[in-house]
Amino acid sequence: MSQKINGVKGMNDLLPGELGGDMAPVEVWQHVERTTRELFARFGYGEIRTPMVEDTALFVRSVGEETDIVGKEMYTFEDKGGRSLSLRPEGTAPAVRAFIEHSVANQEPLTRWYYIGPMFRYERMKTGRYRQFFQIGAEAIGSREAAQDVELMDMVVQLLEALGLKEVSLNLNSLGDDACRPAYHQKLVEYLTAHREELCGDCQRRLETNPMRVLDCKNEKCQAVVQAAPNILQFLCEPCKAHFDEVKRKLDALGVKYVVNPKIVRGLDYYTRTTFEFIAAHPALGTASTVGGGGRYDKLLKGLGGPDLPAVGFGLGLDRLTLLLKESGQKFSTPPDVFIAVADEGSGDAAFALASKLRREGLKVEFDTRGGSLKSQMKRADKTKARYTLVLGQAERESGKGQLKRMADGQQFPVALSEIVQTVRSAPPA
């Protein structure tokens, strides 16, 4: 007997219906994706699709060599041509690379894109955090105005509302820029150095390489230390402070609620000024309560060899959103309109042809290609939760008429086989 081969740890199968176990069924994913595409189109964002594999240097230069993502989590390999390639760990850098490579700046002054797809990080897994995970992201390139930051946040808020996810709060911060961040950086290092022995091992390393990441550590000891750390908002220069005030003013004007949280720093080196996170208060996510976040990255394009253009973007964890929706009790799969059962052996081809015809006309039709007894077919109809069943036998074929049975209450409707579509669509609900 051949040995069974299982999927790669941390990379999940998405199955339909109730087959998915701990993962949300694929119908939930499809619902989120459809809702995202419809909503983002209303905001004027077009979809892009970039490769899942990029030159490793793209992420080293954008995300930051000293970040956990690049230092410990990327799936990096050498291809047969000796090139160092990596599975993408996030979506912003590939989008920016595509923007630069295709000279998009020469074609339009303001570019707004979104993407939906898998990302990869080798990290410790927990609820809603996997090694292949899926992101919804959006990038707006070409505007340095606070209105652009707020438009993106408003887009996420409207998406969460459209999905019926209410217990998610917007946390907002500013990281300043090159004019004001160095002074804060110095004070933060001085404070953390004085408390070095109270920090976890990872944060002791971050203190040397990326001290602002200590603010984001989930370790309880580290959280206790950073409670009294210097507040970056007190170090903002006048332009950065004015930008942050304008972001808050415009959020207020839209009626978008938010919490100012100076500990929101994000995990990537390219952020400047506005940063934000959407945090869910739901036990389904355990400690992985952040469902997404983003911020402004005005220097990234120039740093990757592109034009000196401002930009802002975000990423949402699709895995986490679907887990929240799975727990919400909402229904996402639609049952078949009609289940066609075969009453006798001679009616199989006619029933098969009728199913095909009804599908062409827009109905969702179930037909058991295995055949079997009428009793077994009706059990299958019950399992599929079909709205109606139609039993097709010799009498129905010869008369061109049959009986539609509404499964919810057993009521039957006489119907001409040529008028099944109209009857199903016009029949009153149970």
Q: Which residues does the annotation place in the binding site for L-histidine?
A: 90-92, 121, 135, 139, 266, 270-271
Distance between CA 386 and CA 77 in Å, rounded?
Answer: 49
Rg from Cα positions in the chain? 27
Nearest partner of 318 among 149, 109, 165, 209, judged by Cα: 165
Token pair of 243 as six digits: 């930008």
Answer whether 69's CB lies under 8 Å from 121's CB: yes
SS3 174: strand
Answer whether 230's CB lies under 8 Å from 185's CB: no
3-state secondary structure 384-430: HCCCEEEEECHHHHHHCEEEEEECCCCCEEEEEHHHHHHHHHHCCCC
DSSP 296: E
DSSP 129: B
Distance between CA 227 and CA 231 in Å, rounded?
Answer: 9
At residue 102's C-alpha, the angle toward residues 100 and 104, to 5°, is 75
Token pair of 173 as six digits: 């911060």
Token pair of 84 as six digits: 């160092």
DSSP 428: P
Answer whether 245's CB lies under 8 Å from 264's CB: no
Strand blocks (E) in 94-246: 111-120, 132-141, 168-174
What are the binding residues? 90-92, 121, 135, 139, 266, 270-271
At residue 184's C-alpha, the angle toward residues 180 and 189, to 5°, is 150
SS3 138: strand
